[in-house]
Amino acid sequence: DSEKSGGESWFWQQKGEEIHVRIVCNPPATKKDISVKFKASSLAASVHGVTIVDGSLAGKVEVDECTWCLSADKSELQIMLTQVAGRTDAWPALLA
């Protein structure tokens, strides 16, 4: 599926059971600048103390299989979500 804009500084894309979220970090960030909280049906992410994504997800995820990392140049926060076992439902949006 093609990437969709979620807001001014973030984008998301779904590939089967995986959902990828990209958040632009301007200025570039370090791990100390990032806060990501995964819950079974919600996601909260902030960069430099500014909340970028915060809300209920369109579906449920396996919290233990969700992760995040910074791009090599630290200009992008990359979040990977995995839907609960056996689910590959297409989400109409990242947030419900």
pLDDT tens for 61-77 read: 999 999 999 999 999 99
Q: What one-letter code names the amino acid at 60?
A: K
Contact 36, 78 (CB under 8 A): no
pLDDT tens for 7-40 read: 789 999 999 999 999 999 999 999 999 999 999 9
Write down the pTM of the prediction.
0.94
Say how many C-beta atoms besides its own lie within 10 A of residue 67's C-beta: 12
The confidence band for 1, taking pLDDT boundaries of 50, 70 and 90, is low
By CB neighbour count within 10 A (0-12 exposed, 13-18 middle, 19+ buried), where does 77 fall? buried
- E strands in the chain: 4-5, 10-15, 18-24, 34-39, 42-47, 50-56, 67-70, 76-82
Residue 77's alpha-carbon distances to 15, 18, 28, 68, 88, in angstroms, are 18, 16, 9, 7, 24
